[in-house]
Structure 1
Amino acid sequence: MGWEERDGALVKSFTFEDFATAFAFLTRIAFHAEKVDHHPEFTSVWNRVDFRLTSHDAGGVTDRDHDLAAVIDALAAQ
C-alpha cells in the first residue's frame, strides 16, 4: 500500500504529471471524504499531493483512516 505510520498518522505522497491532474485527483478525494464524513489533511504543491490521515477524535489512526487510505490508493490508480 505504501502508507507509512508516523507521529500518530498515516502518511503518503503522490506525484502526478502536472498540476491539473493532481488537482483533479484531490477533487475526487474531496467528494469521497464528504460522503463518508472523514476528511484528510493534505498539502498540494504543483504535481505532488501529500496526505496525513488521522482520526483526531480518537487520538490517532483508526480503521476509518485505513479505509480512506485504500480509497485514495484506488483513486490514484485511475
Structure 2
Amino acid sequence: MEWKEQDGALVKSFRFADFSAAFGFLTRVALHAEKVDHHPEFTSVWNRVDFRLTSHDAGGVTDRDHALAAAIDGLA
C-alpha cells in the first residue's frame, strides 16, 4: 500500500509477522523521528501500525511529512 492523503494528512498501515516485529519497527521510527524532530501520530495493534503524518503548525501536509513517510518506508 502506498501513502495516501486523507483529511489533511498522509496515512498508511503496515503489517508485520507479530507484535515484536511491529514494536521493533516502531522503535526504529521513534529514533528517526527524534533525530529529525518530526513526530508521527500512530496507533499500534498487535502486528499492525497505522500512521497519520501532518505538520500541525503548517495546517496540513508539507515536505517534512513526505520526507518522514519515505524514511518510514525505508525502516519497514
Normalised TM-score (structure 1): 0.96
- RMSD of aligned Cα (Å): 0.8
Instruction: Tell me what 2:16 maps to.
Output: 16
Q: Secondary structure at the match of 1:12?
A: strand
Instruction: Tell me what 2:30 maps to.
Output: 30
* Amino acid corresponding to residue 3 of structure 2 in structure 1: W
Please list every run of 5 or more consecutive structure 2 residues that lacks an aligned counterpart in the other structure: none
Instruction: Tell me what 2:59 maps to.
Output: 59
Q: Secondary structure at the match of 1:5?
A: strand
Taking the aligned partners of 1:73 and 1:59, their CA distance within structure 2 comes to 23
Aligned length: 76
Deviation at 1:71, TM superposition (A): 0.3
Deviation at 1:65, TM superposition (A): 0.2
Normalised TM-score (structure 2): 0.98
* Amino acid corresponding to residue 15 of structure 1 in structure 2: R
Deviation at 1:69, TM superposition (A): 0.2
